[in-house]
Chain A
Amino acid sequence: MILVIDLCCRGGSLGFDEFVRPIVAIVERSGFDVAPIHFRRITENCLSEADAVILCGTPLADHAFLKEPAAFAWLKETRLPVLGICAGMEVICTIFGGSLGACTEIGMTRVNVTGDDRLFQKESSFSAYELHTFSCTNPNNLEVLAISERCIQVVRHPEKPIFGVMFHPEVRNDWVVEQFLTLSGKYRINP
Chain B
Amino acid sequence: MDHPDHRVHDILDYDDMRAMKLGVLCSGGKDSLFACGRAMEKEEVVCLIAIRPENEESYMFHTPNVSLVPLQAEAAGLPLIEIQSAGEKETELGDLRQGLILAREQQGIEGVVTGAVLSVYQATRIQQICHDLGLWCFNPLWYIDQEKYLNSLLEKGFKVLVSGVFAEPFDERWLGRPLDYSAVTLLKHYREHYGIMLTGEGGEYETFVLDAPFFTKRIEIIEASTDYQNYRGFYRIIRARLVDK
**Contact check: which of A67, A102, A131 meets B5 at CB < 8 Å?**
A102
A22 an interface residue at 8 Å Cβ cutoff?
Answer: yes
Decide yes or no: A14 and B128 within 8 Å by CB, A101-B4, A102-B4 being known contacts. Answer: no
B69 an interface residue at 8 Å Cβ cutoff?
Answer: no
Bound-complex Cα distance A59 to B22 (A): 14
Interface residues of A in 125-176 (CB under 8 A from B): 129, 131, 133-134, 170-172
Decide yes or no: A60 and B137 within 8 Å by CB, A66-B1, A102-B4, A171-B120 being known contacts. Answer: yes
Tell me if B127 and A106 are in contact (CB < 8 A): yes
B174 an interface residue at 8 Å Cβ cutoff?
Answer: no
A13 an interface residue at 8 Å Cβ cutoff?
Answer: yes
Bound-complex Cα distance A131 to B142 (A): 13
Nearest B residue to A129, CB-CB: B120
A185 an interface residue at 8 Å Cβ cutoff?
Answer: no
Bound-complex Cα distance A86 to B137 (A): 16
B42 an interface residue at 8 Å Cβ cutoff?
Answer: yes
In the bound complex, residues from chain B placing their C-beta under 8 Å from that of A106 are 124, 127-128, 131
Decide yes or no: A63 and B12 within 8 Å by CB, A14-B42, A22-B142, A171-B143 being known contacts. Answer: yes
Number of interface residues of B (CB under 8 A): 33
Cβ of A95 to closest chain B Cβ, rounded Å: 12
A44 an interface residue at 8 Å Cβ cutoff?
Answer: no
Cβ of A109 to closest chain B Cβ, rounded Å: 11
Tell me if A60 and B127 are in contact (CB < 8 A): yes
Cβ of B179 to closest chain A Cβ, rounded Å: 21
Tell me if A133 and B113 are in contact (CB < 8 A): no
A70 an interface residue at 8 Å Cβ cutoff?
Answer: no
In the bound complex, residues from chain A placing their C-beta under 8 Å from that of B145 are 25
B215 an interface residue at 8 Å Cβ cutoff?
Answer: no
Known contacts A14-B39, A67-B1; 8 further A-B pairs (Cβ under 8 A): A12-B42, A13-B42, A21-B144, A22-B142, A61-B135, A102-B4, A129-B120, A133-B5
Q: Which residues of A contact B (CB under 8 A)?
A: 9-10, 12-15, 17-18, 21-22, 25, 59-64, 66-67, 94, 100-102, 104, 106-108, 129, 131, 133-134, 170-172
Q: Which residues of B contact A (CB under 8 A)?
A: 1, 3-5, 8, 11-12, 14, 16, 38-39, 42-43, 111, 113, 120, 124, 127-128, 130-131, 134-145
